[in-house]
Structure 1
Amino acid sequence: MMGGDASQPELTMLSLFLRADWVVKSVMVLLVLMSIWSWAVIFDKLTRMRKLQRLAGRFEDAFWSGGSLDDLYNRVGQYPADPMSSVFSSAMREWQRSAARGYARESAAGLQQRIERVMQVTLAREVERLEKWLPFLASVGSSAPFIGLFGTVWGIMNSFTAIAATKQTSLAVVAPGIAEALFATALGLVAAIPATVAYNKISNDLSRYAGRLEAFAGEFSAIISRQLDEEG
């Protein structure tokens, strides 16, 4: 009994990889690299979104505290680290430039439009930065199973070719080839499932955060409009 077990090929993940055809090996290596890179993107995005939500909360507390917007702008600076502060900073920068040039009453509407346009451009740029690498997660989620399936089909073809050459159809002969072929499909699913789940979550989080930025830009635009009416 012991001797019969020892004669059977070892079916560990490493042995399955080493026994595989070079095409199947290439598929496995590609899927492992895709999985590793996906996890790196997932960790970075989730960490960054949590950080940005905290920074947005702190900024909103400071913004609605009733203090001077000019003082807040000086504290934030011209190149802040988070998108909400960037939207505020871009609007204040345009406001101060126009105030320095001196704007007449009839140009108040034009000034407000420029400020709103600047905020929208800044908001779109910041959201675009946050969306970086999300298409990669979507690509991994959609393509990894098919890449793994290609490796499986190729491996099964090789297994049947070997069976035809040796003319042996026992389970001990067939099982290792089928196992290494199915291993490629398993790796494809291991890469695709986390990428798909993370893509959906991060996309939803990003949509809510973008809505939060849009709401702030609208509120700040209303404040600017009231300020221009008072100065007019």
Structure 2
Amino acid sequence: MSIALPSVSLATGAATISPVALFLQADIVVKIVMLGLLLASIWTWAIIISFGVKLSRTRKGCDQFEKDFWRTEDIDRFFEGKSKSDLPAAKVMAAGVTEWRRSTAARAIDRDGTRDRLATAMSSASASEIDQLSDRLNILATVGSVAPFVGLFGTVWGIMRAFTSIAAEQNSSLAVVAPGIAEALFATAIGLFAAIPAVIAYNRFSHGINRLEAKLARFADGFYAMLSRELEAQK
């Protein structure tokens, strides 16, 4: 009977090694680390979902906008109907049309100056839209780079606690060391759980932003060429 007791105790101890039990048994410092990483993970997934939906809608909206734009025969009428759109392509078009109207309002038109101002206005509008769209990506980059080190801090603290338990009880058995090591490894796991999706999402979204920026640049170049030809026809 006395031989069976240790095995029952070990089985009971193994059964209590669950995420909730590890958190409840952890040191206050490790608990703070775990909670911080868990909140960072929730925040990361919220950004991933919302930004993914926004980027997809923006890309599809710009595609449709450009198709409609190149099919139209009256740019002024199209501009009046789309001037209030929040799409990046619409903002680039608005910047070009606005600068065109300002530069061609005078009797003597400076063609070279008008071309330079058109290029600058549309390029600035494109850069501004890309900056606004990618504003929250820095959060993903921060979580992806910092979360593993925060989890590592929890790991180091848990191992220190394990060694402290050994010194306090003068016993290096697995029953004494296991809780501290388990909570340390759990903190590392939470850190990786927060960091890995953030890094993957950041890379994918950065690629999507770069593609959209290139698309806006091509649209601006095409519109600039159209306005340049119209400028040459001005007397």
Question: Same fold, TM exceeding 0.5?
Answer: yes
Aligned residue among 176, 179, 203 for 1:200:
203
Q: Does 1:24 align with 2:30?
A: yes
Q: Does 1:151 align with 2:154?
A: yes
Give the structure 2 partner of residue 36 of structure 1.
42
Q: Write the distance in 2 (CA, Å) between the matches of 1:48 and 1:109.
A: 38
Aligned residue among 134, 138, 142 for 1:139:
142
Q: Write the distance in 1 (CA, Å) between the matches of 2:56 and 2:32.
A: 36
Deviation at 1:136? 1.4
Deviation at 1:200? 0.5
Q: How does 1:1-232 map to 2 (within 5 A)?
A: 3-4=8-9, 7-8=12-13, 10-77=16-83, 79-99=84-104, 101-105=105-109, 107-232=110-235
Residues 103 and 109 of structure 1: CA distance in aligned 2, closer, same or farther (over 3 Å): farther
Q: Secondary structure at the match of 2:182?
A: helix
Q: Secondary structure at the match of 1:132?
A: coil
Residues 52 and 7 of structure 1: CA distance in aligned 2, closer, same or farther (over 3 Å): closer
Q: Secondary structure at the match of 1:64?
A: helix
Structure 1 vs Structure 2 CA RMSD:
1.6
Which whole-Å deviations, capped at 9, do the CAs of 1:88-139 have from their partners, x for residues lacking one? 011112222334x33424x122122212111111111111101112111111
Q: What letter is aligned with 2:57?
A: K
The question of whether the paired residues in 2 share the 8 Å contact of 1:153 and 1:181 is answered with yes
Residues 45 and 220 of structure 1: CA distance in aligned 2, closer, same or farther (over 3 Å): same
Q: Write the distance in 1 (CA, Å) between the matches of 2:107 and 2:172.
A: 89
Q: Write the distance in 1 (CA, Å) between the matches of 2:162 and 2:173.
A: 12
For normalisation by structure 1, the TM-score amounts to 0.93
Point out where structure 2 has 5 or more consecutive residues left out of the alignment.
none
The count of residues paired between Structure 1 and Structure 2 equals: 229
Q: Write the distance in 1 (CA, Å) between the matches of 2:53 and 2:221.
A: 27
The question of whether the paired residues in 2 share the 8 Å contact of 1:80 and 1:89 is answered with no
For normalisation by structure 2, the TM-score amounts to 0.92
Q: Write the distance in 1 (CA, Å) between the matches of 2:118 and 2:12.
A: 77
Q: Write the distance in 1 (CA, Å) between the matches of 2:98 and 2:46.
A: 36
Q: Percent identity?
A: 43
Point out where structure 1 has 5 or more consecutive residues left out of the alignment.
none
The question of whether the paired residues in 2 share the 8 Å contact of 1:87 and 1:217 is answered with yes
| 114-123 or 89-98, larger mean C-alpha shift | 89-98
Which whole-Å deviations, capped at 9, do the CAs of 1:119-178 have from their partners, x for residues lacking one? 111111111101112111111111111110110001110111011111222222221221
